[in-house]
């Protein structure tokens, strides 16, 4: 591992540059860039980064691995890691999370609507918006934080 990342709560993660280059456009480091021993600070907690980095680097060099299942993540963690995946353009995670949101749209339509509107998943936006119609107006309006989304929703 030759690139260091520090989470907002302190722990440092060591990730191989070549894994970053193949799995992420947002965290990739150029071969020509000299990386010193200073970690790159990330705004996410270690709990979020622990899951996200499992989509990037195998647990041990030379071993085959499966990317983590997101099905059992509690909703707060699910949406935090999904947001980080989009922010850092972690390809496998982006696809995994957006695909699983189809199964979550009935139970968490406002959260899915926010995430998918922000990151450009129009089919999920439509599915989530239709599920919010039966929800109390105040709950939906309070939950829609993406700029301009309330106006489009109404």
Residues 66/82, Cβ–Cβ less than 8 Å: no
Is residue 47 very low, low, confident or very high in pLDDT (cuts 50, 70, 90)? Answer: very high
Give the predicted TM-score (pTM) of the model. Answer: 0.88
Q: Which two tokens stand for residue 13?
A: 């993660």
Decide which of 142 and 107 is more confident: 107
In this predicted structure, the answer to whether residue 31 has a pLDDT above a threshold of 60 is: no
Q: How many CB atoms lie within 10 A of CB 101?
A: 23
- How high is the pLDDT of residue 148? 77
Average the pLDDT over 63-81 and give the result.
90
Average the pLDDT over 48-62 and give the result.
86
């Amino acid at each position: 591992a030759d690139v260091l990342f520090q989470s907002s709560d302190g722990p440092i993660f060591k990730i191989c540059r070549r894994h970053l280059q193949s799995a992420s456009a947002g965290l990739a480091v150029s071969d020509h860039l000299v990386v010193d021993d200073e970690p790159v600070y990330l705004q996410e907690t270690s709990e979020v980064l622990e899951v996200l980095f499992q989509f990037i680097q195998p647990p041990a060099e030379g071993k085959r691995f499966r990317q983590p299942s997101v099905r059992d993540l509690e909703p707060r963690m699910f949406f935090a890691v999904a947001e980080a995946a989009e922010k850092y353009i972690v390809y496998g995670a982006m696809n995994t999370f957006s695909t699983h949101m189809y199964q979550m749209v009935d139970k968490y339509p406002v959260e899915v609507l926010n995430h998918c509107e922000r990151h450009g998943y129009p089919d999920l936006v439509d599915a989530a918006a239709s599920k919010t119609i039966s929800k109390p107006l105040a709950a939906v309006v309070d939950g829609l934080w993406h700029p301009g989304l309330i106006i489009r929703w109404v």
